[in-house]
């Protein structure tokens, strides 16, 4: 999943500006959609090439992206856009299905080119149909277990499934199951949270398809993986979560409740860890002086200025998510020595100094201070050596 910053800067500099009405629709989509939609290439289809009117959107689907080209006509603004789907989406033909079903509820049926919400409605409508189309494809798979899983978990809100074709293996079915409650809001756990898009943790489950001939044998366990939106990494790392074991004959409906419960606890712990980190940064002030820079929201970084005799240097604290179980990583940076490129000389990261998670914050800071009092002499020597080598 993309960082939201990508979505905020849609226009590469090389292409001509988007036609005003198209630009209004695109910016409405990017600012209002709760999906991390990315804009790829933007280009012009006009005779004179003065205005851009077509672009590729990367739309999240099943923990991946599909890339669709949206084709407007700058010089025929009243004409609704057309969409060229990806190479693998040949079976997806929403308008043919509409015609067969006699459905004209589509936003295309009442397209108003002056309404900036048009593209937003179109993208979301097509994505919903795309999800349904893939659910139908997976439902056609001749595999007893996949059929059972579909019938039990498909009712869960926000679930997406798709086929994973592969050349050298039998096909697989991928489930993307959103974990925690639908309205669970990570943003509320973090005071002053900067995330624009809602953050999610998904369980990716990949079932190998066993042909129905091998009915008697126990189907092999699916491949499980937790995947989170990228912004969430500064609060909570899904890589650190140990997944409960998948026992033989298990199904997703059995597996999910235990996982969600343990995940809930871990998330609450992670938000509590912010408090511990904040108190640590606050405790730096009496000993080191006020930090000259600190991360006020997730409290993952702080920098203080220190002096030993005439040697002035910065100390960067990188505070891990498992603080206080894991100690902060220290990096020293000289204010007086530069390398050949003119960049200040930095020490290698230090994380082998004395540490106990049971100390209170003030003691942690005291101990680091004592350690640095000696360590800075080594660093000073390290810097002078580096300078001599340059000459």
Residues that bind other proteins (CB under 8 A): 19-21, 43-47, 49, 51, 53-54, 69, 71, 73-80, 82-85, 87, 90, 93-96, 98-99, 104, 106, 108-109, 111
Minimum Å gap between C-beta 29 and other proteins is: 17
What is the rounded distance in angstroms from the CA atom of residue 172 to the CA atom of residue 220?
12
Minimum Å gap between C-beta 70 and other proteins is: 10
Q: Which residues contact 335 (CB under 8 A, 6 or more apart)?
A: 305, 312, 313, 314, 344
What single string gives the DSSP state of each residue in 302-353? EEEEEEETTEEEEEEEE--TTTTTSPPEEEEEEEEEE-TTSPEEEPPPB--S
What is the rounded distance in angstroms from the CA atom of residue 227 to the CA atom of residue 246?
18
* Residue in the structure block whose two tokens are 């015609």: 99
What is the rounded distance in angstroms from the CA atom of residue 297 to the CA atom of residue 246?
37
Give the residue with the Cβ less far from other proteins, 72 or 313.
72
Sign of CA dihedral 359, 360, 363, 369: positive
Minimum Å gap between C-beta 121 and other proteins is: 12
Give the residue with the Cβ less far from other proteins, 91 or 165.
91
Give the residue with the Cβ less far from other proteins, 70 or 323.
70
Give the residue with the Cβ less far from other proteins, 53 or 160.
53
Minimum Å gap between C-beta 160 and other proteins is: 21
Strand extents, DSSP E, the chain: 38-43, 54-61, 64-71, 82-84, 160-164, 172-178, 201-208, 223-228, 293-294, 301-308, 311-318, 329-338, 344-346
Give the residue with the Cβ less far from other proteins, 5 or 95.
95
Give the residue with the Cβ less far from other proteins, 48 or 155.
48
Minimum Å gap between C-beta 135 and other proteins is: 19
Do 80 and 70 meet the contact criterion of CB atoms below 8 Å apart? no
Give the residue with the Cβ less far from other proteins, 98 or 359.
98
Minimum Å gap between C-beta 21 and other proteins is: 6
Minimum Å gap between C-beta 90 and other proteins is: 7
Do 36 and 197 meet the contact criterion of CB atoms below 8 Å apart? yes
């Amino acid at each position: 999943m993309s960082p939201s910053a990508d979505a905020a800067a849609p226009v590469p500099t090389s292409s001509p500006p988007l036609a005003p009405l198209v630009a209004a629709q695109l910016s409405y989509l990017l600012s209002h959609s709760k999906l991390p939609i990315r804009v790829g290439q933007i280009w012009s289809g006009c005779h004179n090439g003065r205005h851009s009117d077509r672009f590729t959107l990367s739309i999240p689907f099943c923990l991946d992206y599909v890339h669709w080209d949206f084709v407007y006509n700058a010089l025929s603004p009243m004409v609704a856009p057309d969409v060229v789907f990806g190479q693998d989406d040949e079976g997806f033909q929403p308008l043919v299905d509409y015609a067969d079903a006699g459905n004209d509820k589509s936003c295309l049926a009442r397209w108003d080119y002056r309404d900036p919400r048009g593209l937003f409605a179109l993208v979301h409508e097509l994505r919903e149909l795309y999800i349904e189309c893939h659910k139908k494809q997976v439902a056609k798979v001749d595999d007893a277990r996949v059929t059972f899983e579909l019938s039990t978990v498909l009712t869960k809100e926000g679930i997406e499934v798709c086929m994973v074709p592969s050349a050298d293996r039998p096909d697989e079915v991928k489930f993307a199951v959103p974990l925690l409650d639908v309205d669970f809001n990570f943003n509320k756990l973090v005071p002053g949270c900067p995330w624009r898009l809602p953050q999610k943790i998904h369980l990716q489950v990949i079932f190998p398809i066993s042909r129905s001939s091998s009915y008697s044998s126990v189907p092999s366990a699916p491949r499980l993986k937790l995947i989170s939106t990228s912004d969430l990494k500064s609060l909570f790392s899904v890589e650190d979560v140990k997944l409960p074991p998948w026992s033989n004959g298990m199904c997703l409906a059995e597996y999910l409740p235990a996982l969600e419960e343990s995940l809930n606890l871990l998330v609450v712990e992670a938000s509590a860890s912010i408090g511990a980190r904040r108190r640590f940064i606050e405790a730096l002030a009496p000993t080191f002086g006020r930090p000259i820079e600190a991360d006020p929201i997730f409290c993952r970084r702080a920098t203080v200025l220190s002096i030993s005799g005439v040697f002035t240097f910065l100390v960067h604290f990188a505070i891990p998510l498992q603080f206080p179980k894991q100690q902060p990583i220290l990096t020293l940076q000289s204010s007086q020595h530069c390398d050949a490129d003119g960049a200040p000389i930095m020490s290698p990261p230090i994380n082998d100094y004395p540490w106990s998670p049971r100390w209170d914050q003030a003691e942690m800071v005291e101990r680091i201070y004592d350690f640095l009092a000696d360590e800075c002499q080594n660093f000073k020597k390290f810097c002078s050596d580096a300078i001599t080598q340059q000459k």
